[in-house]
Amino acid sequence: MDNALLKISNLTAEFKTDKGVFPAISGVHLTINKGEVVCIVGESGSGKTVASLSLMQLIPAVGKITSGEITFEGRDLLKAKKKEMAQIRGKSISMIFQDPMMALDPVYTCGSQIIEAIRIHQSISRQDAHTKALELLKQVGIAHPQRCMNAYPHELSGGMCQRISIAMALSCSPKLLIADEPTTALDVTVQAQILDLLKTIRNEMNMSIMLITHDLGVVAEMADRVAVMYAGKVMEEGDVRTIFRNPQHPYTKGLIKSIPHMDQKNGKLYSISGAVPSISSMPQGCRFAPRCEEAADICRQREPEMQQLSDSCQARCWKFAPEWKEGEAG
Ligand SMILES: Nc1ncnc2c1ncn2[C@@H]1O[C@H](COP(=O)(O)OP(=O)(O)O)[C@@H](O)[C@H]1O
Ligand SMILES: [Mg+2]
C-alpha cells in the first residue's frame, strides 16, 4: 500500500550568485508518509531550508527549480498553477519558522491575526472564527487564551509567539506541517515544551511533519525517519533507530560523534574538521570527501550514487558501491 503523502524526486534548485548560477540542492529524493515525522538534519548551509521552500514554491527570486517532481497526494505540485499552489499552501501544507516574531505582524493583536488566518480559508463569521481561535490557543497549550488574543506579539515571550504561530499553522488542519528550526531561537526548557506540543499535535491530528533541524538531539526526540543533508544532497536516509545505532555514512557518523555527552569528563568535544562548501565551490567527486576521514581516491574523482543498504537505510557513499575494493581506503 502506498502510504506516501509527499514524494520529492530528483529535485534540483539553482541560485544566481555573483559568481554564476549554482545548484543549492541537487537530485534530492525524499518521501514523507501519512502521520510520519521526517527530520532533515545537517549543518548550516546544507540546503535544508532551500529544500523545504522549494516544495512550497517559495524560494527567493534569485533561485529556480530546474528539475524534479514533487507529488503531494498524487498531484504534481510543480505543475500546479499559482492559484492552486496558494490554496495548497494555506489548506494542506503549513509552515512554521525559526523566528516566531517574524511570522507575526507587530501592529495587530495576536487574536486578530489568528482570526484572519482562519477566515482566509474558511467562510465563517468573525464570531465563529473568534471561538475557533480560542480553541486553537487552548490546543497549543496557552492557559489564558483570551488574554493572549488581546496581546500584541511584543508583549509575549518567544515561546508564546511560537505557540501562536503553530496555532495559526493548524487553523486549516493541514496534512503536512513543515517546521524549519522551530525551536532554535528558544530557551532549552521552552524548546522541550514546543517539541512536546508538536508530538501531541501529530498524535491527535495524525499529521505528517517535516522537521528541519541542525540538532541531533531534536532528531532523536522527534523523528520516525531521518534524511541527512550535506552540501545540497541527501547523504543518508533511514529509520531513526537505525541511523543512531548504526550510522553508515561517514558524515552521519561525524555528526553523531559531535553530540556532547554528559559523561564527557576530560573531554574535548569532537567536531568534523572543515566546513560546508559554498554552492559556488563544490568539490569534485563526493562533496564530503575533503572532510571525510575515510575518503579514497575514487571519492575525490567521482560522485557516489545512493546505495540501498537495508530496508530501512540508504547512503550515498563509495564504500557501499560495487566498485569499492578492499584496501581502497586511505
Ligand atoms: N537567496 C540565496 N542566494 C544565493 N544562495 C543561497 C540563497 N539562499 C540559500 N543559498 C545557498 O544555498 C545553500 C543552502 O542554504 P540553506 O538551504 O539556507 O541551508 P540550511 O537551511 O541547511 O542552513 C547555502 O550554501 C546558501 O548559501
Ligand atoms: Mg535553514
Report how far ligand 2's centroid is from the alpha carbon of 147 (Å): 33
The whole-number pLDDT of residue 118 equals: 93
Decide which of 102 and 30 is more confident.
30
Say if ligand 1 is within 6 A of residue 97 CB: no
Q: Which ligand is nearest to the CA of 282?
A: 1
Instruction: Give the atom of ligand 1 at the shortest distance from the alpha carbon of 229.
Output: 22
CA end-to-end span of the chain? 44
Chain segment 108-149, per-residue pLDDT in tens: 999 999 999 999 888 999 999 999 999 999 999 999 999 999
Percent of the chain scoring above 90 in pLDDT = 89
Predicted confidence band of residue 1 (pLDDT cuts 50, 70, 90)? low
Spatial neighbors of 54 by CB under 8 A, at least 6 apart, are 11, 13, 25, 63, 65, 70
What one-character DSSP code corresponds to residue 269? P
What is the Cα–Cα distance from 175 to 112, expressed in whole angstroms? 24
How many residues can be counted in the chain? 330
Say if ligand 1 is within 6 A of residue 318 CB: no
**pLDDT exceeds 90 at position 76:** yes
Spatial neighbors of 204 by CB under 8 A, at least 6 apart, are none
Chain segment 157-204, per-residue pLDDT in tens: 999 999 999 999 999 999 999 999 999 999 999 999 999 999 999 999
**pLDDT exceeds 70 at position 93:** yes
Q: What CA–CA distances, in Å, run from 291 to 5, 279, 327, 328?
A: 35, 16, 20, 17
CATH class given for the domain over 1-92+174-260+268-284: alpha beta
Q: Over range 279-288, report the average pLDDT.
A: 97
What residues sit around ligand 2, an ion, with C-beta below 5 angstroms?
Answer: 48-49
Report how far ligand 1's centroid is from the alpha carbon of 50 (Å): 6
Report how far ligand 2's centroid is from the alpha carbon of 256 (Å): 19
Say if ligand 1 is within 6 A of residue 24 CB: yes
